C-alpha cells in the first residue's frame, strides 16, 4: 500500500511514517519545513519527502493519505484530497488501527516530561529484554530513532493531548487504549485549541475512561489538576508517586544529591533501591519514578528498572550537550512552557552552582506566541545569570514584561544575527549556555557553537 503523509516533519507524524515503512508500506510525505532530527531520520529510513503542500503530490493517487494535525482546511493539498474523494485518516487513528491492536500499550501523558518518561520507559523495557516498539516525540539516545516496530507485545507511546486532525478534534491520546497509563502532571497549555484548564481535564478524563479495570494508572500525587480529573470517575487501580518534598504518595523518590543525579526509591516509607544517572533536576527524578512504576506493571522488577535508569543516555534536545568551545558549554533544550523552562534551569543550576548560567529563549509554541504565559516568563528564567530573548515578528505582545522582571540580566532582540552577536560578546570561559525552543531556533545554537569553535581555533 502507498501511504502519503501530510505534515510528515512533526515528531509524531514522522514516527508514524517510520512505523508504516517498517510494516512494509511504500511511504512518502510532505511538509512546509523539515529540519533535524526528523529530516535525518526520514532520509535514513528511505522515505521521500515533498516540499510544500501543492496538490501535485497526490499524482498518482496514493492508496491512503494520513493527515497531520498541522493541516488545515484551505491548504491546497487538503482541498485536493477532499475534492478527489481519496481515502484519508489521521495519524493517531492509523496508529490505533494498524500498530496497537493486540499489544500491551504503555502511554505517557501530561503537560511536561512525556518524552523523557516515554524514552526511559522504553529503555527499561529494552533492558529487561522485552524489545518494545515505541513512538516517542523525540529521539532517545539509546535507540537513535523516535519510532520502532517490533514483534514484542509491548508498545510505548507518548500520549499527547493536542487535537487529532482538522476532522477529529479529540485529543490524540483517546485513540491509544493503553493498559498502563502514566499521568505525569497537568497544567494549562495549548491555548490555541483549549480555552481553559477544565477543557484539557475533560480530554484527560476521556483518556481515563479508556483504561481497563485490569490496567494501572500511575499518577503524580502532587498534582491537584490530576486529582480533579480522577474525581470525575476512575475505574482502574492507581499507583501514586511523589518526591520527598511533595505530598506523600504510595511511591516516593528522595534526592541523595541536590541536582538529582542520585536518588533512592521508597515504598510505604521503606527504601527499595537507588540509582545514579546522567540526568539532572527534580522533574527528571519524578519522570524516572513514573517510568519505573509503569515498567513494574509490565512485569519488570524495580531492581532491574533501577539498573536501566543508571544506563539511560537521555533524549535529544532535552538538556543535550551540543558541545564545548573555549571552555563554554552549550546545551539544546525543548523547553517552551514556563514550568519546563524553570525546571530545566534549576536542574542545571543545582549541578553547576558556581558557574555563570545563560538562558537563550525563543517563545515559539502557539501558546507562547499568543502571549498566554508572558506574565510568568520572567520568573521562569530567574535561575539564569543572563537571559537572551528572541522576539519573533508574529509574537502577540512583547517580551518587555519578562525583561523588566529580570532587570539588567535580560537582553531582547528581534533579529537573530544581532542576538548572536550580543551573546558572543558576553560569553566567557566557564559559562553554561542553554538554548530553549520547540523549533530549530533558526539554527542559532549550531551557529554559536561554530563561532565559538572558530574563536577557540584562532586564539
Residue ranges of domains in the chain: 2-90, 100-311, 320-458
110 annotated as a binding-site residue: yes
For the record, the C-alpha cell of 23 comes out as 510494516
Spatial CA neighbour of 239 closest among 228, 247, 251, 227: 251
Q: 38 and 9 in contact (C-beta within 8 Å)?
A: yes
Q: 219 and 238 in contact (C-beta within 8 Å)?
A: yes
111 annotated as a binding-site residue: yes
Phi, psi of 13 (to 5 degrees): -70, -35
How confident is the model at residue 392, as a pLDDT?
81
How confident is the model at residue 76, as a pLDDT?
97
0.75 exceeded by pTM: yes
How far is 236 from 205, CA to CA, in rounded Å?
12
74 annotated as a binding-site residue: no
Q: 414 and 393 in contact (C-beta within 8 Å)?
A: yes
Sheet holding 238-243, edge to edge: 147-148, 133-135, 154-158, 104-109, 180-183, 216-220, 238-243, 251-255, 262-267, 270-276
117 annotated as a binding-site residue: no
Cα end-to-end span (Å), the chain: 57
How confident is the model at residue 227, as a pLDDT?
96
Per CATH, the number for 320-458 is 3.90.190.20
CATH T-level topology, domain 100-311: 3.40.1190
112 annotated as a binding-site residue: yes
b vs e for 93-115, b when ≥16 Cβ sit within 10 Å of the residue's Cβ? bbbbebbbeebbbbbbbbbbbbb
Maximum Cα–Cα distance across the chain: 65
129 annotated as a binding-site residue: no
In order along its 459 residues, the chain shows pLDDT tens digits of: 999 999 999 889 999 999 999 999 999 999 998 877 888 899 999 999 999 999 999 999 999 999 999 999 999 999 999 999 999 999 999 999 999 999 999 999 999 999 999 999 999 999 999 999 999 998 899 999 999 999 999 999 999 999 999 999 999 999 999 999 999 999 988 878 899 999 999 999 999 999 999 999 999 998 999 999 999 999 999 999 998 765 667 899 999 998 999 999 999 889 999 999 999 888 999 999 999 999 999 999 999 999 999 999 988 778 888 888 788 999 998 877 888 888 889 888 988 999 999 999 998 877 777 766 777 888 889 899 999 999 887 777 778 888 888 889 989 999 999 999 999 999 999 999 999 988 778 889 989 999 888 887 776
Which DSSP string do the residues of 128-193 spell out, in sequence order?
Answer: TT---EEE-SS-BTTTSSSEE--S-SEEEEE---SEEETTEEEEGGGGS--SEEEE-------TTT
172 annotated as a binding-site residue: no
Whether the ω angle into residue 38 lies within 30 degrees of 0, i.e. cis, is no
Per CATH, the number for 2-90 is 3.40.50.720
How confident is the model at residue 138, as a pLDDT?
87
How confident is the model at residue 459, as a pLDDT?
66
Amino acid at each position: 500500500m502507498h501511504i502519503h503523509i501530510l505534515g510528515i516533519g512533526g515528531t509524531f507524524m514522522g514516527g508514524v511514517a517510520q512505523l508504516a515503512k517498517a510494516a512494509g508500506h511504500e511511504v512518502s510525505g510532505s511538509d512546509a519545513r523539515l529540519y533535524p532530527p526528523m529530516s535525518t531520520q526520514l532520509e535514513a529510513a528511505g522515505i521521500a519527502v515533498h516540499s510544500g503542500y501543492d496538490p501535485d503530490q497526490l499524482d498518482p493517487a496514493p492508496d491512503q493519505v494520513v493527515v497531520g494535525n498541522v493541516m488545515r482546511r484551505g491548504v491546497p493539498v487538503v482541498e485536493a484530497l477532499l475534492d478527489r474523494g481519496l481515502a484519508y485518516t489521521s495519524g493517531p487513528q492509523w496508529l490505533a488501527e494498524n500498530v496497537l491492536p493486540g499489544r500491551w500499550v504503555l502511554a505517557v501523558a501530561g503537560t511536561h516530561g512525556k518524552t523523557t518518561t516515554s524514552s526511559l520507559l522504553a529503555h527499561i523495557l529494552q533492558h529487561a529484554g522485552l524489545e518494545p516498539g515505541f513512538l516517542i516525540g523525540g529521539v532517545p539516545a539509546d535507540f537513535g530513532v523516535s519510532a520502532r516496530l517490533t514483534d514484542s507485545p509491548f508498545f510505548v507511546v507518548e500520549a499527547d493531548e493536542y487535537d487529532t486532525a482538522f476532522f477529529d478534534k479529540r485529543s490524540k491520546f483517546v485513540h491509544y487504549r493503553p493498559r498502563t497509563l502514566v499521568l505525569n502532571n497537568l497544567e494549562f497549555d495549548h491555548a490555541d485549541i483549549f480555552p481553559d484548564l477544565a477543557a484539557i481535564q475533560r480530554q484527560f478524563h476521556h483518556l481515563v475512561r479508556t483504561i481497563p479495570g485490569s490496567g494501572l494508572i500511575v499518577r503524580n500525587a502532587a498534582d491537584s489538576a490530576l486529582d480533579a480529573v480522577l474525581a470525575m470517575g476512575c475505574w482502574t487501580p492507581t499507583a501514586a508517586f511523589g518526591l520527598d518534598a511533595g505530598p506523600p504518595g504510595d511511591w516516593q523518590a528522595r534526592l541523595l544529591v541536590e541536582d538529582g543525579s542520585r536518588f533512592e526509591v521508597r515504598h510505604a516509607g521503606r527504601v527499595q533501591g537507588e540509582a545514579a544517572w546522567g540526568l539532572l533536576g527534580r522533574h527528571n527524578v519524578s519522570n524516572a519514578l513514573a517510568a519505573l512504576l509503569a515498567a513494574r506493571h509490565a512485569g519488570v522488577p524495580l531492581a532491574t528498572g533501577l539498573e536501566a535508569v543508571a544506563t539511560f543516555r537521555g533524549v535529544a534536545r532535552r538538556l543535550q550537550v551540543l558541545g564545548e568551545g573555549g571552555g563554554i558549554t552549550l546545551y539544546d533544550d525543548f523547553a517552551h512552557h514556563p514550568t519546563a523552562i524553570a525546571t530545566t534551569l534549576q536542574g542545571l543550576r543545582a549541578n553547576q552552582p558556581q558557574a555563570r548560567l545563560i538562558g537563550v529563549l525563543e517563545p515559539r509554541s502557539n501558546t507562547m506566541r499568543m502571549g498566554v504565559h508572558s506574565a510568568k516568563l520572567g520568573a521562569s528564567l530567574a535561575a539564569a545569570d543572563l537571559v537572551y530573548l528572541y522576539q519573533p515578528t508574529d509574537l502577540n505582545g512583547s517580551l518587555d514584561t519578562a525583561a523588566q522582571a529580570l532587570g539588567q540580566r535580560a537582553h531582547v532582540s528581534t533579529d537573530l544575527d544581532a542576538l548572536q552577536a550580543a551573546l558572543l560578546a558576553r560569553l566567557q570561559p566557564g559559562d553554561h549556555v542553554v538554548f530553549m525552543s520547540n523549533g530549530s531556533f533558526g539554527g542559532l545554537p549550531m551557529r554559536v557553537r561554530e563561532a565559538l569553535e572558530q574563536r577557540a581555533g584562532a586564539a
